[in-house]
Amino acid sequence: MKKSRRSARKKKKGNTLRYLTFAIVILAVAGLGVFFYNNQTFDASLLLPLVKKIKGEAPVGSFTATLCFGDEQGEFLIREHRIITSGQTPDKKAEALLQELLKGPLTKGTRTMPLQTRLRGVLFDKGLLTIDFSPDLQKYHPGGSASEILTVYSVVNTLTLNVSEIKQVALLIDGKKIDSIAGHIDCRQPISPRPELTH
């Protein structure tokens, strides 16, 4: 009699677990259905970092970068060191460096580009890196020659300090060539670094 009761309890417990598992699976499938319905432009590539993590693949590569931000007085550039993960080609490294510059300093120093600025793309060819920024770089720039010098050379010096292949930088806004960012620094030609500005 006792054995039959134990057997009945085990059977009941097993059935409960099966029902619970089935319910979780149904809820998960329903949740995914709602997600995909509300996100019809879902990009499957967004799952790649998770897949790589699950597979245990190593990151693409990391390096200690030297970023150039403005000093508190707005007179010269100061260095901030940051570990960055990126691809190993000059354009991929440059893209990662620029994204970090756009975040602004984490310690001391001041931003050199407006917070609203976005990176639209980069192109590397034979020592020249062409950078395409959003129009916000001009629209929200505070102006003034000193501020514009720091903006231009925070970008140029950061890139040439960290990526030996990059010798000069060309700046575009919304895919178009510009005369300057705020009327003071000539951006019509490729710009070479000025290491003396970085302390």
Q: CA-to-CA distance for 199 and 185, rounded, in angstroms?
A: 21
State residue 19's pLDDT score.
61
Residue ranges of alpha helices (H) inside the chain are 2-38, 48-55, 90-103, 136-139, 145-162
Give CA–CA dist 153/170, Å, rounded.
Answer: 12
Report the pLDDT value the prediction gives residue 57, as an integer from 0 to 100. Answer: 42
pTM above threshold 0.85: no
pLDDT value at residue 60: 76
Q: Residue 127: what pLDDT? A: 97
CA angle 158, 196, 118 (to 5 degrees): 25
b/e per residue 109-141 (b: at least 16 CB within 10 A): bbbbbbeebebeebebeeeebbbbbbebbbeeb
pLDDT tens digits for 50-83?
A: 333 434 444 578 999 999 999 999 999 999 999 9
Task: List the Cα angle 16/19/25 in 5-degree steps.
Answer: 140
Residues of the chain short of pLDDT 70, as ranges, are 1-59
Over residues 174-195, the pLDDT tens digits come to 999 999 999 999 999 999 999 9
Question: Tokens 């089935």 — which residue?
Answer: 22
Residue 52 CB: number of other CB atoms within 10 A?
Answer: 13
